[in-house]
Amino acid sequence: MFSEELQHISWEEVSSRIAAMTDADVRRALSKEQCTVDDFMALVSPAAIPHLETMARLSRRYTEERFGRTISLFIPLYLTNSCTNSCVYCGFHISNPMARTILSEEEIIEEYKAIKRLGTFENLLLVTGENPAKAGVPYLRRALELAKPYFSNLKIEVMPLKAEEYSELTRHGLNGVICFQETYHREHYRLYHPRGMKSHFEWRVDAPDRMGQAQVHSIGMGVLIGLEKEWRTDVTLMACHLRYLQKHYWRTRYSVNFPRMRPAENGGFQPNVVLTDKELAQLTFAMRIFDHDVDISYSTRETPHFRDHMATLGVTTMSAASRTEPGGYATHPQALEQFSVSDERSAQEVEQALRTLGREPVWKDWDTSFDQASSALINTPVIRP
């Protein structure tokens, strides 16, 4: 499990190594076709700031070589805002005295229909708070079953599950799972998550291992930018995690996200660091140069102008027309939202902006038939003459 690997990585040592990176280290990293974690540290370090134009060109080159000029579009649907956790930065905090919503089957179907009216979305992300008693695996299984007539690619962003539970959900239409670690700083993690299931650091950091064991097709990772002042250290540990997962679960596709904290109805938690657009661009370029194949996703937390700009320089997946409250598309538009969005454009407006930039919006990039074909290839014996 990655938690065992992490015990041998010192946060303080990684922070010191990043701070000590030089211009020569950055140039060395930029000269390589395949980068190590050490190279990634150089590319996210302050020493790399004078090289942003070079990094942008490399990031664009590697992205277009691997993904072409496509941008995959998805939409999130929040099924619940009911949560048993006490995350100090989140609007779904259990102590937040707001009305809670758990969508019924009828409401879920109405939301699916409303989303289909917004555009030609085929990629759906189902999101919940962590309340297994009221919205656990049986609830998720039913939501996936109800979604299959409407969407071809289904992902979830929910509480960490057991490997057998992930495996069960894949049999009901699940293609991918997103689980943000939030921060890899073990001690600080407990400060931000003082109570509830999410307070168990090891259980959460090992969730991608269990996804890999369940042969989930796509695993999404991320840290919440704003929790740690040393954000460069946090993303470096995520890069270590990515390399570990790729080594152990090499058939799985991976995505990364760097969400910046947005205002939420949570009692006024203030970010410990505010990442500038320039710094987020540097981080994005560094990740693309570090890993040419990883899917880099931006949500509607980011502004339209910045998202459009980064769509040409390294980002490969975007959400569009997002609502972050359960039932926000049709049944409960006034429910408690998790965070406020910055990009409020319609799906059609996002699509048109991308086309103007020479990008090709992709509404559908996976189908269960791909799984069947892949399985057939893997299990077909090779007949030699």
- Residue 138, sorted as left (phi over 0), alpha (psi -120 to 50) or beta, turns out to be alpha
Dihedral angle computed from the Cα positions of residues 275, 276, 282 and 284, in that order, rounded to the nearest 10 degrees: 70
Which strand (E) or helix (H) includes residue 207?
helix 207-213
Contact 260/279 with Cβ under 8 angstroms? Answer: no
**pLDDT (tens digit per residue) in 5-30:** 999 999 999 999 999 999 999 999 99
**CA atoms within a 13 Å half-sphere pointing along the CA-CB vector of 218:** 26
d(CA 219, CA 384): 36
Residue 325: CA atoms inside 13 Å, Cβ hemisphere, count?
18
Mean model confidence pLDDT for the chain = 92
Q: How far apart are CA 186 and CA 6, in angstroms?
A: 10
What pLDDT sits at residue 350?
97
Give the number of C-alpha atoms closer than 13 A to the C-alpha of residue 266, restricted to the C-beta side: 24
Quote the tokens at residue 150. 């409407």
User: Is residue 182 scored above 80 in pLDDT?
Assistant: yes
Closest C-alpha to 302, from 249, 347, 257, 253: 257
Answer positive or negative: Cα dihedral of 138, 141, 145, 146.
positive
What is the Cα–Cα distance from 59 to 62, expressed in whole angstroms?
5
Strand partners, 256: 221, 296
Q: Per-residue pLDDT tens for 197-235?
A: 999 999 999 999 999 999 999 999 999 999 999 999 999
Q: pLDDT at residue 369 above 60?
A: no
Taking only the tens place, the pLDDT of each residue in 264-317 is: 555 567 899 999 999 999 999 999 999 999 999 999 999 999 999 999 999 999
The C-alpha atoms of residue 133 and residue 110 are separated, in whole angstroms, by 24
Contact of 164 with 137, CB cutoff 8 Å = no
Number of other CB atoms surrounding residue 365 within 10 Å: 17
How far is residue 211's CA from residue 309's CA, in Å, rounded to a whole number?
33
* Confidence (pLDDT) at 376: 47
Residue pair 39/28 in contact (Cβ under 8 Å)? The answer is yes
Tell me the domains of the chain and their CATH numbers: 2-376 (3.20.20.70)
The CA-CA-CA angle for residues 355, 302, 79, to 5°, reads 95
Contact assessment for residue 1 and residue 209, using Cβ atoms and an 8 Å cutoff: yes
Residues 102-160: tens digit of each pLDDT: 999 999 999 999 999 998 899 999 999 999 999 999 999 999 999 999 999 999 999 99
Q: How far is CA 74 from CA 134, 209, 366, 377, in A?
A: 26, 25, 12, 28
Count of helix runs (H) and strand runs (E) in the chain: 17, 9
* CA 241 centroid distance within chain: 14
Give CA–CA dist 47/71, Å, rounded. Answer: 30
Helices 231-248 & 11-19 angle (0-180, nearest 10): 110
CB atoms within 10 A of CB 32: 11
